[in-house]
Structure 1
Amino acid sequence: MAVAQKKVTQATIDGHARNILRTMFKFGVFDRQAYPNDLSRIDRTASETAARRIEEAGITLLKNDGALPLKAPKSIALIGRAAQAGPSGFGSARVVPFTSVSAQDGIAHRAGSGTKITFNNGDNRGDAANAARNADVAIVFATDSQGEFFDKSCLTLQCGEPLRGDQDGLISEVAKANPNTIVVLNTGGPVLTPWAGQVKGIVEAWYPGQEAGNALARVLYGDVDPGGRLPVTFPVSENDAPASGNPAQYPGVNKTVTFSEGVMVGYRHYDAKGIKPQFPFGHGLSYTTFSYSGLKASTKSVQVTVTNTGDRTGIAVPQLYIGMPSPGVDVPQPPKQLKGYGKVTLAPGQSTTVTFPLSARSFAYWNEEAKAWKVADGCYRVMVGSSSRQIAQTGTLGTCR
């Protein structure tokens, strides 16, 4: 009907169909027999192991004032409904597994019979504070709500999940009652953390999947190193966010949104404006420490040596950023752009060389007049570190003065 009404051409439809079929051919869908619709043939053990490892690799330790890993506490108070539930997004993000492990079950299993585990849903702050006060460690679970086809109206936890009430206030109340308070965030993106200075630890566990409890417990107890790093920036204030205060950008004027930010999106906005974030892009702590040395840079690759300087095995995620020269006042460039990253597991004292491959495209900008990618003359600053704000090694390429 759309073709008949000339709202779309047959060529456009064929093009979209071709994209789908190309992917199917690439992955061999037409070169094998169709998989039988028989759930009993699924290797659930392998699926559970994969789900746990993926979540362990994504859990991001945002803050740790010595509270983690847990040192066999005799009692733990779990506070917040998410300790007994499996937080997830909705729409296409809502996936119901065959089985799931809650945080409470995973922590209780890992802690063993020698640790008393209590639960409080957090609906009453006074009751939650009492539960925290009577435990060696309090772990507060806070969630937001995200899914398809809607925007969050603000970045506070209360706004993100209004049915849970004032979770920021709950966290502050629990932290007053127990100095050993850890916050586990189950969110789909950045949220404000006004209580960050009141708690000993903050763990971003995202929407954790079917093995949520086991993965979280293994990270909290230090059986594995937290492997995640932030793919987004956590701002101090909503006013710091890229589209804040600009209704033309968001939510739009007269049903029209203007994308005027150019290349200054995400962490680039914070860098260009000199805004200090709460937790920067690329951030994520390990239970050990690392040093970076021996930077070598060329137009083909950048190399750096990463050394585990701590006393336990851990995961490092070295990140390569390049600060590119601006070819003109009408083509501004951000202070730095992510051009590569690696992920290595190192034993105490172990070193390894991480290589970031580069090409001409790594140094290019979009030339609107030429309708092509071009490389500008000038000085290129090379930066390697553990996050966009923790740069450990620097160098230069090109013509620098």
Structure 2
Amino acid sequence: MTRWSHWALVPLLPSLLVASPVSEQDDDTAKLNPRADNDYASPPFYPTPHGGWVSDWSDAYAKAYEVVSNMTLAEKVNLTTGTGYFMGPCVGQTGSAPRYGIPNICLQDSPLGIRETDHNTAFPAGITIGATFNKDLMYERGVAIGEEARGKGVNVQLGPVVGPLGRKPRGGRIWEGFGADPTLQAIGGAQTIKGMQSTGAIAALKHFIGNEQEMYRMSSIITKGYSSNIDDRTLHELYLWPFAEGVRAGVGSVMAAYNDVNSSACSQNSKLINDILKNELGFQGFIMTDWFGHYTGVGSALAGLDMAMPGEGAVPLLGDSYWGSELSRSVLNGSIPMDRLNDMVTRIVATWYKFGQDKDYPLPNFSSNTKDATGEIYPGALFSPTGVVNQFVNVEGDHNITARAVAREAITLLKNNDNILPIGRSDSIKIFGTDAGPNSGGLNSCSDQGCDNGVLTMGWGSGSANLPYLITPQEAIGNISSNATFYITDSFPSDVTASSEDTAIVFINADSGENYITVDGNPGDRIEAGLNAWHNGDDLVKDAANKFSNVVVVIHTVGPILMEEWIELDSVKAVLVAHLPGQEAGYSLTDVLFGDYSPSGHMPYTIPKSESDYPDSVSIINQPFGQIQDTFTEGLYVDYRHFLQANITPRYPFGHGLSYTTFNFSNPTLSVGTALDSTYPPARPSQGATPKYNDSIPNPAEVAWSSTSFTRIWRYLYPYLDDPQSITASSTYPYPVGYNTTQAPGVRAGGGQGGNPALFDTAFSVQIDVKNTGSRSGKAVVQLYVELPSSLGLDTPSLQLRQFEKTKELAPGDSETLTLDITRKDLSVWDVVVQDWKAPTNGDGVKLWIGNSVADLPILCSVGDGC
């Protein structure tokens, strides 16, 4: 979202990736978008599959049917179209259907807290919770975010983020997701969704799909967003994987990305939305645009889009829309079938019912537009009524406890020579770097955190939130240590004295964010800074290392950061990556720094020795003219998969993390679950019934202005037309190639939310004993990587994370037995010919590697041979 609110390559197969004319898009748009790479084109898939056939959603769809079958055309259009920019309290809201008790549906950022409001918690970012490798904390954080959304009257909280995946290490928003691995993203996303939606708030899984860099992502009347060109197998095995798990978790809504995929915009890509999301993955909720990511009217509706946000057309605040009254017109003239509109609104209403929002769900009690108690109700209008817009409802509860626990468990100890950490409370310490201190301009002085000033708590953009308060490292250390001196500067002071008893703690960071804000020359993506520390951080570390014999480096960062200038200096004894900790930055760090807790975070991405260690194809593309063709030529080999394939030793591998104690993994046992007695999953279950409506064109009077009796608000988007009776059905609309209205049978890989339910049967389980063999309490993370056999006949990464578990806090000498379950899908590859998931029969040749990181896997369990 912007502040405006806010297929390794395989041979192209005719049934999968075909060159097709640009007729999936409306004619006017098509003229602006000649395809530059016909090797990657998105084939058409029509019509949109109906929702309502999944048993878990049957009651909600039954309720929705009773309402939608009696709605007028105006009411239906109202619920699918945003009301316009600045036309309500939230970053986006739909129209309402008051006759049925359905209010304007409020949609609000962000994935780490309630954006642009007050008395909210600023939680650690997605990359931080990913680094915990703690499923329980992922769920708990999701619950807390959901509770705050509900408390503020937010119907749809815009998160979690599982795209970008982190393909591009300089990418501006990789910190919003959980890490550069599809399984880590999938588990983090699914746990977050379950937690959020347990409160009644609707989660929005985003950004669907292939949105891996910020620059040139959006289309407009003069530009065309880049095309992420992804082959079918890579799409399924990497980028779609976490979305499938999110759908399996029952997510209520999905947000389309701004960019194209295979030369068709995500918000109107019928292959992605109709076939993959709603057919193959069985998605039952609704899909919306990202803000101002709505590029056509009829084309997007036919391709499966259900909700337009925030409603406007190509230029905000003109009061026009691709939908709204134009959607009413398109239904009356027959270009959009009532069948499609009925499914759109049914998906929205059913989701509202599914999460109990018909039962005492609060209305919005805040304003994204002002922090004053009273103000304009529709500030985007020329003249607006005024009233109470902010009630200052405090929704924080005790969520600071969760926020601190997440930030603490994420802290990743990369290096600890001579066991310099933890530090004693009375030790002599000297602290350097502005990243230890506050924002010099004041708390939240930078809109949407659009600056790098003081301790880095989160990246910038719509994925941010206001900090209700901030405990800085400076404050926390000062309150705990009896012998600390602070130098809150990024230039090493010339007058510092050092003794052999001193420990220098140097704070450095690296920031990034969303493209609508540029910070220090970085337009979202880290263009100027690269992967180096900001504000001369590398020099600060080297200067401290020249002066002090004991140096600890603390890093707050959005993603991979280079350390080669100083990591092997003798005096740099320890490195802690604290990621993006949110409001509890200080005490979460001191919890670990002074030894109250052992660090238990693990790296959610690889730390390279050089940026040149990555494949060239994952660089940010800076091409100001013409549509960028961003072809994913590295295929499946992203992050650690690439480093293993290229035999490149990173500085720190994916999953790496040290502790103040030691653990022993022992007694692994392998058990068989549901037998893999076939290469492909059993036949999918039959598909349930879906609502049946009268799909004839309604009476034009239902959207006539003359039938209304309220005062119009200028720039507010309405479903009404001045002379709808003059509109007649036409058979001349230039429908996309491949368009038809006959519901297609479900694909073989589908059959349930997330895909064929048999994919998620547990095929094997590994039990392992974990014992704390050290002298301090701590938590261990057990990671399981799969090595698939060559008998599958496909080039496949040598190791792939497929499961992880974290122990409880283990005292010295204590043990815990963990169980790691592996599903059929975990052992499968995507067969682009059969269009289904292919696994080795009986698991023959599968190896399960277990350990502390992708580079430290001491335990091997082989199917057939045991552990």
SS at match of 1:300: strand
Query: How many angstroms apart in 1 are the aligned matches of 2:510 and 2:838?
Result: 42
- Give the corresponding residue for 2:395: 42
- What TM-score comes out, normalization by structure 2 length? 0.42
1:69-106 CA deviation, whole Å, 9 max, x = no partner? 10234432111111103312100233222111111001
Superimposed CA distance per residue, residues 123-144 of structure 1 (whole angstroms, 9 cap, x where no aligned partner): 2x353x8266697111111111
Correspondence list, 1:342-381, <5 A: 342-344=805-807, 345-377=809-841, 378-381=844-847
Alpha-carbon deviations, 1:328-378, whole Å to 9, x = none?
A: 55x211111111001112111111111011221121110000011011354
Q: Which residue of 2 aligns with 1:156?
A: 531
In the alignment, what sits opposite 1:33?
Answer: 361
Within 5 Å, which residues of 2 pair with 1:2-401?
6-10=298-302, 12-14=304-306, 24-34=352-362, 37=365, 38-44=391-397, 46-65=398-417, 66-84=419-437, 85-87=454-456, 88-111=458-481, 114-123=482-491, 125-127=492-494, 130=496, 136-149=502-515, 150-153=524-527, 155-158=530-533, 161=534, 164=535, 166-194=536-564, 195-198=566-569, 199-241=572-614, 243-244=615-616, 246=617, 251=621, 255-298=628-671, 299-327=763-791, 331-344=794-807, 345-377=809-841, 378-397=844-863
Specify the code of the residue in structure 2 equivalent to 1:274: N
Cα 1:105–1:22, aligned 2, differ >3 Å: closer, same or farther? farther
Name which structure has the greater RCO, CA cutoff 8 Å, separation 6+: 2
> Aligned in 2, Cα 1:14/1:120: closer, same or farther, shift over 3 Å?
closer
**8 Å CA contact retained: 2:434, 2:455:** no
SS in 1 for 2:819: strand
Code of the residue aligned with 2:660 in structure 1: it is Y
Name the CA distance, whole Å, in 2 between partners of 1:309 and 1:367.
45
Cα offset, 1:255, TM superposition = 1.1
For residues 168-221 of structure 1, the C-alpha deviation after alignment (integer angstroms, 9 at most, x for no partner) is 122111011111111110101110111112211111011111111111111100
| Larger-gyration structure (1/2) | 2
Retained in 2: the 8 A contact 1:86–1:209?
A: no
Distance 1:99-1:343 versus aligned 2 partners, 3 A rule = same
- CA, structure 1 residues 4+50, in 2 after alignment: closer, same or farther (shift >3 Å)? closer
Q: Could you say if the C-alpha distance between residues 380 and 231 of structure 1 is closer, same or farther in structure 2, counting changes exceeding 3 Å?
A: same
Unpaired runs of 5+ in structure 2? Answer: 1-25, 27-293, 309-343, 366-390, 438-453, 516-523, 672-762
SS at match of 1:92: coil
Query: What CA distance in whole angstroms lies between the structure 2 residues aligned with 1:97 and 1:74?
Result: 31
CA contact (8 A) 2:662 2:774 kept: yes
Structure 1: gaps (5+ residues): none
Q: 2: distance between equivalents of 1:382 and 1:100?
A: 43
CA distance in 1, matches of 2:512, 2:296: 38
Residue 155 of structure 1, CA deviation: 4.1
Which amino acid in structure 2 is aligned with residue 374 of structure 1? K
Cα gap change, 1:22/1:152 in structure 2, threshold over 3 Å: closer, same or farther? Answer: farther
Q: Distance in 2 between matches of 1:35 and 1:326?
A: 56
Deviation at 1:20, TM superposition (A): 6.4
Local SS of the residue matching 2:589: helix
Instruction: Call closer, same or farther: CA 1:357–1:24 in 2, change over 3 Å.
Output: farther
Give SS of 1:48's match: helix
Q: Secondary structure at the match of 2:770?
A: strand
CA change 1:197–1:300 in 2 (3 A) is: same
Residue type of the partner of 2:403? A
TM-score by length of 1: 0.88
The answer (yes or no) to whether the contact 1:57–1:228 under 8 Å persists in 2 is yes
User: Which whole-Å CA distance do the structure 2 matches of 1:358 and 1:260 have between them?
Assistant: 29
Structure 1 residues 181 and 104: alpha-carbon distance in aligned structure 2, compared to 1, 3 A threshold: same
Mapped partners of 2:355, 2:455: distance in 1 = 32
Deviations 1:237-271 (A, max 9, x none): 11112x33x48x75288610111222222211111
CA deviation after TM superposition for structure 1 residue 23, in Å: 5.6
- Of stretches 194-203 and 67-76 in structure 1, the one that deviates more from structure 2 is 67-76
Does the Cα contact within 8 Å between 2:792 and 2:839 map onto a contact in 1? no
Residue range with higher mean Cα deviation, 354-363 or 320-329? 320-329
SS at match of 1:29: coil
Contact 1:86 1:208 in 2 (8 A): no
Specify whether residues 358 and 350 from structure 1 end up closer, same or farther in structure 2 by C-alpha distance, changes over 3 A only: same
Deviates more, 1:285-294 or 1:69-78: 69-78
The 1:121/1:349 distance shift into structure 2, 3 A limit, reads same
* Identical aligned residues as a percent: 33
Q: How has the CA–CA distance of structure 1 residues 142 and 34 changed in structure 2, closer, same or farther, with 3 Å as cutoff?
A: same
1:14-63 alpha-carbon deviations (Å, 9 max, x no partner): 2886776666554433333216624454345x122221111111111111
Is 1:182–1:201's contact at 8 Å kept on the other side of the alignment? yes
In the alignment, the residues of structure 2 paired with residue 358 and residue 192 of structure 1 have an alpha-carbon distance, to the nearest angstrom, of: 34
* SS at structure 2 position matched to 1:236: coil
Q: Aligned partners of 1:133, 1:19: CA distance in 2, in Å?
A: 67
CA distance in 1, matches of 2:424, 2:468: 33
Structure 1 residue aligned with 2:706: none
Quick one: structure 1 residues 69 and 23, their matched pair in 2 at CA, closer, same or farther if it must change by over 3 Å? farther
- The one-letter amino acid paired with 1:178 is F
Contact 1:296 1:304 in 2 (8 A): yes
Helix, strand or coil: the match of 1:50? helix
User: Is the partner of 1:292 in helix, strand or coil?
Assistant: strand
Amino acid of the residue matched to residue 108 of structure 1?
G
Alpha-carbon shift at residue 225 of structure 1 (Å) = 1.8
Identify the range of structure 1 (354-363 vs 34-43) with the bigger mean alpha-carbon deviation.
34-43
Q: CA RMSD in A?
A: 2.7
Separation (CA, whole Å) in 2 of partners of 1:101 and 1:357: 39
For residues 131 and 203 of structure 1, do their structure 2 counterparts lie closer, same or farther at Cα, with a shift above 3 Å needed?
A: farther
Q: CA deviation at 1:288?
A: 0.3
Distance across 1 between alignment mates of 2:486 and 2:628 = 50
> Is the Cα–Cα contact under 8 Å of residues 664 and 772 in structure 2 kept in the other structure?
yes
In the aligned structure 2, how far is the partner of 1:284 from the partner of 1:353? Answer: 20
